[in-house]
Chain A
Amino acid sequence: MTLLDLREGDSAVIQSINMDQLPKQMLTELLELGFFPGAEIRLKTKSKYLGKLICSLGGTTIGLRMKDGEAILLKTK
């Protein structure tokens, strides 16, 4: 399951980040924003029109592009 498959309002735990799918510079940025294995993430909003995901993790709200959400793999509960 990826972040893109998560339903609005649901939470999950990050399993890993698919490094090949994302630009290298973005990986460090994601990591520092709290995207690392074991972190709990909640999908707040999925906006098709804007092509965006809004999620909250580590107490902050982060926005990212939908297609990048596919690179964030989640643990299924």
Chain B
Amino acid sequence: MKQKNIYLVGNPNCGKTTLFNQLTGLNQKTGNFSGVTVEKKEGFVSLPNLELKITDLPGTYGLGGIAEDKKIAYEILLKRKEDEVVIYVLDALNLERGLQFLLQVIDMGVPTLVVLTMKDVLEKKRIQFDLNALKQTLGLEIVLVNAKSGEGIPELKNLLSNENCFRKQKRLWKWEPKEESLFTKLKKQLNIDTNEAEFFLSQALKYLNGDTHLQDNRYLNQFPNSTKQILSEELQSTHYQFGYQEEMIHRSIFIKKIISETILSPISKNGGLGERLDSIFLHPILGFLCFFLLMGILFQSLFTFAEIPMDMIEVGITQLQGYTTMYLPDGPFRSLLVEGILGGVGSVVVFVPQIALLFLFIGILEESGYLARASFLMDRLMGKFGLSGKSFIPLLSSAACAVPAILGTRTIENKSDRLTTIMVSPLIMCSARYPVYILIVGTVFSYPPIFGILNVQGFVLFSMFFLGMIVSFAFALLFRKTVFKENASYFVMELPRYNIPSFKSLFFTVYGKVKSFLATAGQIILYISVLLWFLSHFPAEYKDNVWKTSPIETSYIGRVGKVMEPTIAPLGFDWKIGISILTSFAAREVMVSTLAVLYGSEEEGEESESLRETLRSDRRSDGTLVWTPLTGVSLLLFFAFASQCMSTLAVTKKETGSLLWPTVQFLYMTTLAITSSLLVYQLGKILGFV
């Protein structure tokens, strides 16, 4: 069957992703655009005579986008193959800006079909809309849909099976007469007759004219030297104004005309629910109150709702390990399967409910239009640390996991802001630190509540969260003042219309993200788990037909732990803690299970009282207790700052496209961890704490 490649193009918040989810459903996959680090969403639609491959390009306002994701949308349109086409998603309530970008796409000579969204709002607001007039002026097919309810989707699919629904159109707007006549003259002189060639000509002219928005000479370089000569001579002889800004101005004149012909009743600009909501959400006091309330609810539910499925997954994995142990003969293979593979995979899968919930919440906040308001609210605070409000959401999502947070920095246009955010995100207390903190805090701070109500352990946990935030902000400022000095941070952002999110569409989005998380992070953790398993069970010997693996104390990793004990003793750690720190470099939560193995505890969990009891009574060779509050604090600081997450480093490499930044990230975080642990333990000892 024939396959057709379609790109879904449009402004941010135009309903593009909802339409994509409506069209493709579960039939989608997430990957990367080749060579770059932007997430690529592809979906498939089967029609009776044709299969459509639809790629959802990042939403952008025009072809001059600077952010990584916006740039890629342009590059793909520029380098598309002859038979690839575009569905342009146009928001009926935001025609002015939507048409600006549509006219740019038309100018590039891309065969286009327009899907007009927000049918429901048009009808609700009783806006008289002349669809036929719009079709005629643009010379394109236009389908009116309600992407949320799916109304109009069958008609759209029907139309898509017809090959001729995608149309090319010539440039519809005009330059100023002087520029236009030069353009016509040049076209004739150079034999330019296709839209694509005309687009290259206008880009070359803008470049030669010294346009600040277009400093890319590749269009000019497509032309032979003789042509280049002609173009520069023309521009030198007379003063012309070819520029992106002039282009926008002239398009907007044309667009005003289209709109006056299309929208017959004016859209009221004043009042409305949106403005009333903004007066609350963007209020200097109420706004912050609402924000903290929302975040409070978010995090509470993140932990309470996620706990049930997380427990179920844990039980499931344990059972699977049980069955495997029962049915397979004892030996290294069983051990590899049970402890290495199942244990490793389990440690990733267990985070799926939390990650899914986080993406769901962020999706709701984003689609409803609140996320932009939160960035707006936080911009002033973030500005004090050299960042902009756009860095706030990624930093906030780091509280669940730095991996999706780093992926989320793609929306930050400013490169220095983006790199800084990537570098400091892992300092925020993530969900993988919770099991570790809970174990440490539960072991060393078993005090009765202060004043009978204030839970000491809860207080320590909260302090750790606060510490992570402060330190990450401080380092953001440091990075911004030293390494990433250029590109002063700035903030300009659209505050989109408030919208009730489509849950069907959200479901597909979350599903896609979780799938891609499992594929990337899961793989790395699996490899590391197998390696760690090997290091903690070998050397092994084969005697009397059975494999005898080493107990962890004498395994490779155990030996390393003992060798390194003198170096970590100044931090207050013994060799067992040393080993658990080594293994936790794969993923922090592995620390708990390692300690459980080392102390031979039956129960593994961080809440396990028997493990805590064993830890509390453990003594060093000189008879002193290992797990004192001072060791606890030192260990907490170590885990707060050390870069102990392979997935984070992998995703940093992916997103920055170089090995340099993950290396810097690893080194600065780990140095910070060692220094602060050392200082606290040594100072504490001098001050007489034990």
Contacts and interface: CB of A to CB of B under 8 A. Distances in A.
B320 interface: no
A34 B96 contact: yes
B93 interface: yes
B495 A61 contact: yes
Contacts of B249: 36-38
A31 B282 contact: no
B62 interface: yes
Contacts of B282: 45, 47, 50, 52, 54
Interface in A30-75: 30-34, 36-39, 42, 44-45, 47, 49-52, 54, 56, 58-65, 68
A31 B380 contact: no
A59 B492 contact: no
Contact of A54 (B252, B287, B495, B496): B495
Contacts, number: 121
A22 interface: yes
Contacts of A47: 282, 284
A35 to B, nearest CB: 8
Contact of B64 (A31, A44, A61): A31
A60 B209 CA distance: 31
B212 A27 contact: yes
A47 B490 CA distance: 17
Contacts of B278: 45, 54, 61
A59 B487 contact: no
Which of B61, B94, B95: most chain A CB closer than 10 A? B61
B379 A65 contact: yes
B409 to A, nearest CB: 16
Contacts of B230: none
Which of A37, A39, A63: most chain B CB closer than 10 A? A63
Contacts of A19: 212
A38 B65 CA distance: 22
A27 B465 CA distance: 37
Contacts of B187: none
A68 B97 CA distance: 22
Given A27-B213, A31-B213, A32-B62, A62 B493 contact: yes
Interface in A1-39: 19, 22-34, 36-39
A37 B493 CA distance: 19
Contacts of B275: 44
Interface in B341-373: 372
Contact of B245 (A31, A52, A68): A31
Nearest to B493: A63
Contacts of A38: 249, 252
Contact of A23 (B244, B248, B488, B495): B488
A49 B66 contact: no
Contacts of A54: 278, 282, 495
Nearest to B95: A59
Q: Is the interface of A mostly helix, strand, loop or mixed?
A: mixed
B113 to A, nearest CB: 23
Given A22-B490, A23-B488, A47-B282, A63 B213 contact: no
A33 B213 contact: no
B529 interface: no
Contacts of B245: 31, 36-37
B414 A25 contact: yes
Which of B95, B248, B267: most chain A CB closer than 10 A? B248
A44 B20 CA distance: 33
B495 A28 contact: no
Interface string B229-254: 00000000000000011001100100
Contacts of A45: 278-279, 282
Given A36-B252, A39-B252, A47-B284, A26 B492 contact: yes
Contact of A60 (B97, B244, B284, B383): B97
B413 interface: yes
Contact of B267 (A32, A44, A52, A59): A59
Contact of B97 (A24, A30, A58): A58
B377 interface: yes
A23 B490 contact: yes
Contacts of A22: 490
B269 interface: yes
A47 B379 CA distance: 12
A59 B98 CA distance: 10
Contacts of A26: 490, 492
A34 B94 CA distance: 12
Per CB-CB distance, the 5 closest pairs between chain A and chain B, nearest first, are A49-B284, A32-B62, A32-B61, A58-B96, A61-B495
Given A50-B379, A60-B96, A62-B492, 8 more contacts: A32-B100, A32-B248, A34-B96, A45-B278, A45-B282, A52-B282, A63-B491, A65-B492
Interface of B: 61-62, 64-66, 93-97, 100, 212-213, 244-245, 248-249, 252, 267, 269, 274-275, 278-279, 282, 284, 287, 372, 376-377, 379-380, 383, 413-414, 487-488, 490-496
Interface of A: 19, 22-34, 36-39, 42, 44-45, 47, 49-52, 54, 56, 58-65, 68
22 contacts: A25-B490, A29-B492, A31-B64, A31-B213, A31-B248, A33-B494, A36-B248, A36-B249, A39-B252, A42-B269, A47-B282, A50-B282, A50-B380, A51-B380, A58-B96, A58-B97, A59-B93, A60-B496, A64-B491, A65-B490, A65-B492, A68-B490
